Amino acid sequence: MCEREKMFCLTALFGSRRSTVIAATLAGLAFLLLGSPAQAAGCAFEDQGGGRVTDVADAHTLHLEDGRDISLAGIEPIMGSAKEASKAALAAIVTGREVTVRSPDDTPDRYGRESAFVFLQGSETPVQAALLSQGAALVAADVADRDCEAVLDAAEAAARRDRRGFWADPAAIKNAESPGDILTGIGRFTVVEGRVLSVRQAGATTYLNFGRNWRRDFAVTIPKRILPAFEAAGIVLKSLENQKIRVRGFIETRGGPRIEALRVGQIELLGRD
């Protein structure tokens, strides 16, 4: 029966234990086991080999038996109070398991880590998507491959809709009308929602303003060199005035709090209502 009804067997395995980490792990394992063909179509990069996962360093990094350190591409780890729960969720999925590593380039970063997508042996759904589906990670701002980005976005959207993990916190998404709250996350990867009050260009930068006071209010900045990407995606920036959007990125301050948008995928249109 377990081969035919994998979700049932996973549920039976965990029984009545209801901790956040166990529930998240169940959702993640089910996601990996039952991933759809559409999900499998994304993140199909060059095979960089694989091996057995010995342990995880944090919610974003795992160690392989062959000595390699793998940094999970395409996602940002949850910080703050949920940091340890996110690490535990990753550990529960991959520790002791055989995995395949895929990426466009296996060149390590300055810390010796390879940035890659990781797949459990026999699965075509990335571990990153499992973490996102639990609310144990956020889609990063630097995913260049559109098919892969779609896989990750869908997994995060499901967790957000069902208020899993990180998304269970009412303060998970920051309100663009509360710049003081946003400023508490300087240097952190943050998701902000709000209505664009105006779109203005100053020099080589376009500003999506969410308030009238640039010294205090939140804004999204878009460098001139990035504008062709928005045009190619059919997004006229001026048309964003009075639209509600969701934006993600690292918080910095130049007057008020800012997020710099370097990719179209950082901005999600939510409509005018």
Q: How far apart are CA 125 and CA 29, in angstroms?
A: 10
Domains parsed from the chain with CATH numbers? 6-168 (2.40.50.90), 174-271 (2.40.50.140)
Whole-structure pTM value: 0.82
The better pLDDT of the pair 13, 132 is held by: 132
Q: How confident is the model at residue 4 (pLDDT cuts 50, 70, 90)?
A: very low
Give exposure, 69-95, as e/b (b: 16+ Cβ within 10 Å).
Answer: ebbbbbbbbbbeebeebbbbbbbbbbe
Please give the angle made by the CA atoms of 220, 266 and 143, to the nearest 5 degrees: 145
| Averaged pLDDT score across all residues of the chain | 86
pLDDT of 160? 96
Please give the pLDDT value at position 128: 96
Query: What is residue 31's predicted lDDT score, i.e. its pLDDT?
Result: 53
pLDDT digits (tens, 9 = 90+) for 216-259: 999 999 999 999 999 999 999 999 999 999 999 999 998 899 99
Tell whether the model's pLDDT for residue 38 goes beyond 60: no
Strands 252-254 and 244-250: what pairing?
A: unpaired
Distance from C-alpha of 112 to C-alpha of 81, rounded to nearest angstrom: 27
pLDDT the model gives residue 28: 52
- Averaged over 261-268, what is the pLDDT? 94
State pLDDT tens for residues 180-206. Answer: 999 999 999 999 999 999 999 999 999
Instruction: Give helix 83-94 / helix 127-134 axis angle, nearest 10°.
Output: 140
pLDDT of res. 108: 87
Q: What is the percentage of the chain residues whose pLDDT exceeds 90?
A: 73
Confidence of residue 16 (pLDDT cuts 50, 70, 90): very low
CB 235 within 8 A of CB 227: no
50: pLDDT strictly greater than 60: yes
The whole-number pLDDT of residue 144 equals 86
Answer yes or no: are the C-beta atoms of 95 and 114 closer than 8 Å. Answer: no
Can you give the pLDDT at residue 254? 85
CA angle, corner 78, sides to 174 and 211, nearest 5? 20
Integer CA distances (angstroms), 129 to 31, 58, 72, 104, 139, in order: 8, 17, 11, 18, 9
At 197 the three-state DSSP class reads coil
3-state helix, strand, coil in the chain (%, to 5): 35, 30, 35
> Is it the case that residue 105 has pLDDT exceeding 60?
yes
Please work out, in degrees rounded to the nearest 5, the angle formed at the alpha carbon of residue 141 by the alpha carbons of 135 and 142. 120
